Amino acid sequence: MEEWDWTEHFSSQPETLRYLEYVADKFDLTKDIQFDSMVEKAIFREEDSHWDIELSDGSIHKARFLITGIGLLSEPTLPKIEGIDDFEGRSFHTSRWPHEKVDFNNKKVAIIGTGASGIQTIQEVAKTVGHLTVFQRRPNWCAPLHNRKIDPKEMLEIRDNYPDIFARCKETQAGFIHTVDPRGTFEVSEEVRLSFWQQLYDSPGFGIWQGNFKDILTDPKANKEMSEFIAGKIRERVNDPQIAEMLIPRDHGFGTRRVPLETHYYETYNQSNVDLVNINETPIIKICKEGIETTEGIYEFDYIIFYQIYLI
């Protein structure tokens, strides 16, 4: 913490990887890590209270304690669509992205899904793509990330405040620097309420989700007001009213699912080379060698991108 300088408030994957490698080198951790090792079995032996952990290469490692800290999304999952292996172009999964740069210039690209990683992928691919088609089953409520660079002076201030930052995170409901506002949505005037929401919308990070009024997630009327505020922002940012309505969730209120954070995501749909397909109205039949076949015909693609599908 005393030695590492972050370049931006929400670090990208390459910077996060550099930091992890720095920590591993500094504390000589790699000597205790075995990479590229798939665990096939873990059997607890009651007779002498130990685990036999079998790897894919057939080797068995014995351990007194076993911590399966792999997380919910450690294994990539794909949508259950017929013909995924028939596609003759290139396909990618967001959790297994190529290490080399992928050039989308002049390419026809499909992205299936608008979950958190799908949203982040869409806004990046759209910067250079020839033509992008997004296949959406259900939209998510999103809020601006407002990421920005950290200059050396600010980094010094952050470093000096690390103790206070960590103390603050221990006190809050979700472990962020933000915490629930003690006021109720309707305990303040409409003017104060809208001003507060605008302040949250203009602020970086999860504040609009984790630092909102105390009843946003418990009072349906309060949640409806908040959802309408965000829906209004979507309508302001998307030029085509029909596309804007497609991007507004109807099946859940704001914050009742994790809120993806975005950077110019909604403006992506103002580009003439970006299309949005509602697969509830135009279902995907299968993936074919040319691309994706729907009830309205075949879309031809050079690349198809899948994002992580939740198993719960």
pLDDT value for 312 = 34
pLDDT value for 79 = 83
What DSSP assignment string belongs to 39-55?
Answer: EEEEEEETTTTEEEEEE
Kindly state whether residue 100 falls inside one of the protein's structural domains. Answer: no
pLDDT-based confidence at residue 75 (cuts at 50, 70, 90): confident
pLDDT value for 94 = 87
Kindly state whether residue 199 falls inside one of the protein's structural domains. Answer: yes
**What total of structural domains would you count in the chain?**
1
Beta-bridge partner residues of 181: 213
| Residue 87 to residues 234, 258, 299, Cα–Cα distance (Å) | 34, 32, 12
User: CA 33 to CA 15: how far, in whole Å?
Assistant: 21
pLDDT over threshold 80, residue 311:
no
Cα within 13 Å of Cα(55), Cβ side = 10
pLDDT-based confidence at residue 5 (cuts at 50, 70, 90): very high
128-184 tens-digit pLDDT: 999 999 999 999 999 999 999 999 999 999 999 999 999 999 999 899 999 999 999
User: CA 205 to CA 143: how far, in whole Å?
Assistant: 9
Exposure of 212 by Cβ count < 10 A (0-12 exposed, 13-18 middle, 19+ buried)? buried
15-38 tens-digit pLDDT: 999 999 999 999 999 999 989 899
Mean pLDDT of the chain: 94
Kindly state whether residue 149 falls inside one of the protein's structural domains. Answer: yes
Kindly state whether residue 99 falls inside one of the protein's structural domains. Answer: no
Cβ–Cβ < 8 Å for 272, 130: no
pLDDT over threshold 60, residue 310:
no
218-233 tens-digit pLDDT: 999 999 999 999 999 9
Which letter, b or e, does each residue of 289-310 get, where b requires 16 or more Cβ atoms within 10 Å of its Cβ? Answer: eebbbbeeeebebbbbbbbbbe
pLDDT-based confidence at residue 309 (cuts at 50, 70, 90): low
Kindly state whether residue 53 falls inside one of the protein's structural domains. Answer: no
Kindly state whether residue 266 falls inside one of the protein's structural domains. Answer: no
**Inter-residue long-range contacts of 82-85, CB under 8 Å, 24+ positions, other chains counted:** 82/285, 82/286, 82/287, 83/286, 83/287, 83/288, 84/287
Kindly state whether residue 37 falls inside one of the protein's structural domains. Answer: no
Kindly state whether residue 209 falls inside one of the protein's structural domains. Answer: yes
pLDDT value for 76 = 78
pLDDT value for 17 = 94
Domain limits for position 178: 144-235
Residues 95-103 have a mean pLDDT of 89
pLDDT-based confidence at residue 308 (cuts at 50, 70, 90): low
User: CA 244 to CA 235: how far, in whole Å?
Assistant: 5
Residues 242-260 have a mean pLDDT of 96
Cβ–Cβ < 8 Å for 301, 273: no
| Percentage of the chain lying above the pLDDT 90 cut | 86
